[in-house]
Amino acid sequence: MENKNLIFICGFMGCGKTTQGKKLAKLTGYFFIDLDEYIADKFDKNITDLFKEIGETEFRMIEANALNQCITDNQKTIIATGGGTPCFNNNMDLMKQSGKVIYLKMTAIDLFARLFNAKGDRPLIKDKDDEDMLLYIENLLKTREVFYNQSDLIADGTVFGVEVLRDDILKLI
């Protein structure tokens, strides 16, 4: 497979994939794609509404197709994935074959704190009360980390700054 210089940023919802991806793109001169925004633009709906309308199974197929399209159509690009992207349809294997993967790792408590005020924008947690939300995050994170931990670079999302990881990131690319 040709080297297209793709970098994928993965991690749980709310860990900063988009924010840090944009900073990393600016630092490296790469293009930037947020996979959720890419899908939302394609369907002219926000992710929460689309997810609610079609359900998770259909959404994951759309997401896999969008990921494939982004890989095919781009080079020198940082792609911030959705939180579940690496966990379905062999997407993690595809990302690792197509570029380098960075995991922004955070604890369930830190993720809960970040997501608490924004849960209305997150289809998987929007209807959960506080206690259920924390338990849900803990359980889902445990399931997803099996995939996230396959990344080429694991960064602490609570202190992550692209400047801190500049050398490691530049070695990846």
Q: What is the DSSP string of 48-69?
A: HHHHHHHHHHHHHHHHHHHHHH
Residue 7's Cβ-side half-sphere holds a number of Cα atoms within 13 Å equal to 27
User: Would residue 104 count as lying in a domain?
Assistant: yes
**Mean of pLDDT values over 64-76:** 96
Structure tokens given for 81:
């994935």
User: Would residue 103 count as lying in a domain?
Assistant: yes
Print the domain residue range for 151: 6-172
Element (H, E) at 46: none
Environment class of residue 33 by beta-carbon count within 10 Å: exposed (0-12), middle (13-18) or buried (19+)? Answer: buried
Judge whether 9 and 67 are in contact, CB under 8 Å. no
Q: What is the pLDDT of residues 26-54, one digit of tens each?
A: 888 999 999 999 999 999 999 888 988 99
> What is the torsional sign of CA 2, 31, 172, 99?
negative
pLDDT score for 58: 97
User: Would residue 118 count as lying in a domain?
Assistant: yes
The structure's pTM equals: 0.91
* Percent of the chain surpassing pLDDT 90: 64
- pLDDT value at 165 more than 70: no
Residue 124's Cβ-side half-sphere holds a number of Cα atoms within 13 Å equal to 18
User: Would residue 1 count as lying in a domain?
Assistant: no
Q: What is the pLDDT of residues 78-123, one digit of tens each?
A: 999 999 999 999 999 999 999 999 999 999 999 999 888 777 667 6
pLDDT score for 160: 58
Alpha-carbon distance 33 to 25, whole Å? 9
Q: What is the pLDDT of residues 131-158, one digit of tens each?
A: 788 999 999 999 999 999 999 999 888 7
How many structural domains compose the chain?
1
Contacts (Cβ under 8 Å, ≥6 apart) of 90: none
Q: What is the pLDDT of residues 115-125, one digit of tens each?
A: 887 776 676 77
CATH number for the domain harbouring residue 68? 3.40.50.300
pLDDT score for 129: 79
User: Would residue 32 count as lying in a domain?
Assistant: yes
**Mean of pLDDT values over 56-82:** 96
User: Would residue 132 count as lying in a domain?
Assistant: yes
Where helices occur in 74-149 by DSSP H, the ranges are: 91-98, 108-115, 130-148
pLDDT band at 163 (very low <50, low <70, confident <90, very high): low
